[in-house]
Amino acid sequence: MLVHAAAGGVGLAACQIAKVLGCRVIAAAGSDAKRAICKEKGGADYVLDYTVDGWQKEVMRITGGHGADVVFDPVGMLVPSLKCIAWNGRLVVVGFAGGAIEKVPANLILLKNVAVVGLFWGATAQRDPKRFAQVLKEVMQLIASGKLVPHTYEPVYAGLDKVPQGLQDIEDRKTWGKAIIQVRGNQAKL
């Protein structure tokens, strides 16, 4: 499984859940520090820098030419990912953090018999509440068992006056995990 933006909160969770399911995880992140986080906190087996040309060749090398069976994409890297996805692979689209919404050439999907699946988790709660509740229950069991550990960026931003700094740090790609703004005093320990 290839996980894009693997050092983010969603990416780290995806890496951990994939490991629980028995996957070999390739984590893609844009800095040495974030790739180290992917290994340390996400349990990634391999890491790569998706900001350099030819990262798809690294996926193919790691998989022995097979390609990634599953690509988890919260960034919007669909077309580049189709170059290193396996035959009968699944491309799971969960967001467009990169800003652009790509148009995917249908021939790339056809040539490798790929399934492209959208996962809009927020809408799932409304449209399929039973499934949402079941998945949430299973996630909470993974957390209770210690197999899934939510990670927050340190430092926690204390107070609303820190929102501009937090947003700047996110824009500058300094954060990993979930960036947290603590609104109340030190009442709750994170």
Domains and CATH numbers, the chain: 2-119 (3.40.50.720), 152-190 (no CATH)
pLDDT in tens, 160-179: 888 888 888 888 888 888 88
CA distance 41 to 19: 12
User: Among candidates 161, 172, 173, which has minimal Cα distance to 181?
Assistant: 161
In this prediction, residue 174 carries a pLDDT of: 86
Q: What pLDDT is stored for residue 189 in this prediction? A: 53
How far is Cα 64 from Cα 14, in angstroms, rounded to an integer?
23
- Coil, helix or strand at residue 182: strand
- Residue 187: the pLDDT is 53
What's the pLDDT tens digit per position in 83-94?
999 999 999 999
Question: Which residue stretches of the chain have pLDDT < 50?
Answer: 190
